[in-house]
Amino acid sequence: MKTPRSWWHEWAAPLWIGCNFSAWTRLLIHNRFAVHWSRWHFAVLYTFLSVVNSVLGLCQQAVFGRRVAETVIADPPVFIVGHWRTGTTLLHELLILDDHHTAPTGYECLAPHHFLLTEWFARWAGFLVPKHRPMDNMELSLQHPHTFIYPAAIAHRIARRRRPPTPSTHRS
């Protein structure tokens, strides 16, 4: 019998849930479609979601494309770059207390192709993420500002890296 934690762990949203179809296809091709038979249902689900993300991305481009392209960024952005567990999240949390700073929400990171169109959906999709980060028990939700931008990068273009860099997988 599965415990609630194991059920959530199995169905929790992975980083690549926001991929569009071309990024998801590149990821599958790069890994030679190596999906274990016990996970085929996830591959079918993520393929379906990647098509949905692509269609919603086209809709967002049609509705908001011109306004986004014409947006003027008055001040240069601030990027917080650092290794995990070095205080970057604390610095981020302190900066966003100032009204002059902002950061993408968890939903904007997980749905970079269509968040302008579908951000209302984030409040109903909150069950897909844990309430706290496992490594430091900090609050986590799709509505909170998000410091981990890798989901946006992997969803936008799966380029050189095919998995999150960790000390055991880092290559120079």
Report the pLDDT value the prediction gives residue 87, as an integer from 0 to 100.
Answer: 85
Task: Please tell me which residue, 113 or 150, carries the higher pLDDT value.
Answer: 113
Confidence of residue 15 (pLDDT cuts 50, 70, 90): low
pLDDT digits (tens, 9 = 90+) for 76-130: 988 888 887 888 888 888 888 898 888 888 888 888 899 999 999 888 888 777 7
Global pTM reads 0.74
pLDDT at 142 over 60: yes
Q: What is the rounded CA–CA span in Å between residue 45 and residue 88? A: 34
- Tokens found for residue 147: 């410091």
pLDDT digits (tens, 9 = 90+) for 16-74: 678 899 988 988 898 889 888 988 988 899 999 999 999 999 999 999 999 999 999 98
Residue the block writes with tokens 């949203």: 13
Q: What is the rounded CA–CA span in Å between residue 65 and residue 151? A: 22
Confidence of residue 164 (pLDDT cuts 50, 70, 90): very low
